[in-house]
């Protein structure tokens, strides 16, 4: 359905994340994966959604000069926000353990920003989901880290994995956003972009 709407556009997903790529396939999109290395650094003054908005935009910059008239470039970033601090991807297993220990027996926010860039405009959307974890034992944390190797995930966990099944006691908002892509907003935004472009 979405493919028909976007038949005159070329979607470029600038993400190496297998989960994000799978979401795009499940949305029924034809898309190209295009990757460029980028340092995911942000000014320390930024807080909360300012961080993910900034990084999603930053990831789009290296592609801007090569976009064609019908291209829609999609870049995104996800963080876990807890105790007024951003948790990105852990550096190693020790870092992952420390992050999960922090998230244990508390509620955190998962924030994802998605940036849509064309030759004529840029639009960034974001979504926030609140996730509550039960009290995790050290054994459970270690088992999860050694079994699922969550070093490529913000906050050191994937909700779709074992830890999501045993630890998540409450979720407010989009489940898919916690996996790294607020698919309902991406779907709506792509339709809005096409409708807007047809007016001009």
Q: 125 - beta bridge partners?
A: 114
| Helix-helix angle 93-103:138-148, to 10 degrees | 130
Closest of 49, 153, 23 to residue 111, by C-alpha: 49
Is 95 annotated in the active site? no
Question: Which member of 71, 77, 84, 95 is catalytic?
Answer: 77
Q: Where are the alpha helices (DSSP H) in the chain?
A: 2-5, 18-26, 49-60, 93-103, 138-148, 162-167, 175-178, 183-199
Q: Which residues are catalytic?
A: 77
């Amino acid at each position: 359905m979405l493919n028909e709407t976007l038949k005159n556009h070329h979607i470029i997903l600038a993400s190496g994340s297998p989960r994000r790529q799978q979401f795009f396939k499940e949305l029924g999109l034809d898309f190209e994966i295009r990757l460029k290395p980028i340092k995911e650094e942000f000014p320390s003054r930024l807080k909360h959604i300012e961080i993910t908005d900034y990084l999603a935009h930053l990831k789009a910059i290296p592609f801007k000069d090569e976009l064609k008239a019908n291209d829609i470039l999609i870049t995104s970033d996800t963080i876990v926000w807890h105790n007024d601090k951003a948790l990105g991807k852990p550096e190693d297993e020790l870092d992952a353990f420390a992050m999960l220990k922090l998230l244990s027996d508390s509620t955190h926010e998962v924030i994802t920003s998605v940036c849509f860039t064309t030759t004529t405009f840029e639009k960034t959307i974001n979504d926030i989901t609140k996730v509550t974890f039960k009290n995790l034992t050290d054994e459970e944390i270690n088992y999860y880290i050694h079994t699922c190797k969550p070093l490529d995930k913000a906050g050191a966990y994937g909700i779709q994995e074992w830890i999501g099944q045993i630890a998540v006691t409450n979720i407010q908002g989009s489940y898919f956003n916690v996996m790294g892509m607020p698919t309902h907003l991406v779907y709506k935004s792509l339709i809005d972009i096409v409708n807007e472009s047809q007016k001009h």
